[in-house]
Amino acid sequence: MIIRRRLAALVALVVIAVGAIVWFGPGQRALRELTLPLHHADIIRQQAREKNLDPALIAAVIFQETKFRPRTSAAGAEGLMQILPSTAEFLARRTHGITFVPSDLSTPQVNISYGCYYLRYLTDHYGGNLTLAVAAYNAGLSNVDQWVARAGGPSRFTDSDIPFPETRAYVQSVRRHRRAYRQRYAHELGYR
């Protein structure tokens, strides 16, 4: 009976110790990587500085688009930030990127750079209104321009003016994940 109690106590102690290691040690980082991954933080910080964007916003858009797993969508959007080749060509012309080829979108540096340039372009287009910029990143500039006109202008626009449920959820998710990235990855994203 005493041996069983000691064995049970030992097992409980081991479980607690392993749990503490997972929670407070390397396991916490692994869990964080599964639930809210962050890769290419150096590129994100660089592009945030160059394009005057919040690095947590960039990370949140990447998370929403691909969960940091680059891919090609059914619509043909590519890479971490899901840039359509036609959008990339438009951006290349605006930036005089004469050497751009669509296959460059599979390179994280190029993809994040183009995605951030587009996010900056949309942010400027909407006078700094990030809700509108993020909505346009998902649903397209012409759609959001129509929604803004129906709402009576950018200052009157709210999430409820977004008629596409997918885009409304996208905007809310980016907003929520932006806060999470800022909290969980403050050091990696250059806040401290």
Residue 96: the pLDDT is 81
Residue 9: the pLDDT is 61
Residue 100: the pLDDT is 81
Q: Is the pTM of this model over 0.95?
A: no
Q: Is 12 helix (H, G, I), strand (E, B) or coil?
A: helix
What are 49's two structure tokens? 């500085």
- CB within 8 A of 72, min separation 6: which ones? 78
| DSSP string across the chain | -HHHHHHHHHHHHHHHHHHHHHHHSHHHHHHHHHHS----HHHHHHHHHHHT--HHHHHHHHHHHHTT---B-TT--BTTTTB-HHHHHHHHHHTT-TT--GGGGGSHHHHHHHHHHHHHHHHHHTTT-HHHHHHHHHH-HHHHHHHHHHHTSGGG--GGG---HHHHHHHHHHHHHHHHHHHHTTTTTT--
Residue 30: the pLDDT is 54
Residue 182 near residue 44 (C-beta atoms within 8 A): no
Instruction: Give the active site residue among 65, 78, 89, 166.
Output: 65
pLDDT tens-digit series, residues 128-144 = 999 999 999 999 999 99
* Better-scored residue on pLDDT, 69 or 32: 69
What are 28's two structure tokens? 């916490």
**Average pLDDT over all residues of the chain:** 89
50 belongs to the catalytic site:
no
Residue 35: the pLDDT is 82
pLDDT tens-digit series, residues 75-110 = 999 999 999 999 999 888 888 877 888 888 999 999
Instruction: Tell me which residue of 109, 126, 112 sits closest to 171, measured CA to CA.
Output: 126
**Confidence band, pLDDT 50/70/90 cuts, at residue 192:** confident
pLDDT tens-digit series, residues 22-67 = 555 566 555 555 689 999 999 999 999 999 999 999 999 999 999 9
